Amino acid sequence: MNTYIINKVYGIFQKTQDLSEVDGIKLKYVLEMIINDVLKTLIMFVGFSLIGEGLAFLYCCLSLMLIRNFSGGLHLKTFFGCLLFTSSFFGLSVFFNNYITLTLPIFVILFFFNMFIMVLLSPITSRQRPEYSEKKKFHFKSMSIMIVIVHFTFYFVSKHPYFTIAIWVYTLQSIQLLITLGGITYEHKKNIKNAA
């Protein structure tokens, strides 16, 4: 389905624009990302709405969108793999939000855990993207840290449900960064071993 949509939209651009081969490849990649993300979001929204958590899902999406581009994270190769992982990620965020009360000690632990991970690991870039300059990495790290601080501060002040869910989303995002680093380290060691 999504391949059909990508090809249709790509065909329209190809007819109306004078695209080089490289521009065509870039366009297809961008279209694939956008269409896949829209489809995944719609499927998940319907699923979460069916269990009465549509608003919580939207809160999860918004909070993750704010930090994901700056902190990086896991990138799965297939549409369904990504859909399953993201659904599980948001499902855990909603579950923790519903069943774990953010007492002051838990709040403090989560705040320092998130700050530690963002300072230490953010950003982890996808292998599909070019390596960032040190200046850009510093900018992305600073933005990740600022987003965490702002959300934790606003939760502490307002206790609004959005900020509560955002804390769980950012905690799972931090855990995801740890997992991603572990995967990168494992692949690096495996490549060195194979090259030897």
- pLDDT confidence of 129, banded at 50, 70, 90? low
- Which amino acid is present at 150? V
- pLDDT confidence of 2, banded at 50, 70, 90? low
What are the domain boundaries of the chain?
A: 51-195
- pLDDT confidence of 196, banded at 50, 70, 90? low
Cβ atoms within 10 A of the Cβ of 161, count?
A: 13
* 75, containing H or E segment: none
Quick: pLDDT tens for 131-178.
778 899 899 999 999 999 999 999 989 989 999 999 999 999 999 999
Q: Facing residues of 72 across strands?
A: 124
Q: What is the pLDDT of residue 7?
A: 73
In the three-class reduction of DSSP (H, G, I as helix; E, B as strand; rest coil), residue 157 is classed as helix
Q: What is the largest CA-CA distance in the chain?
A: 60
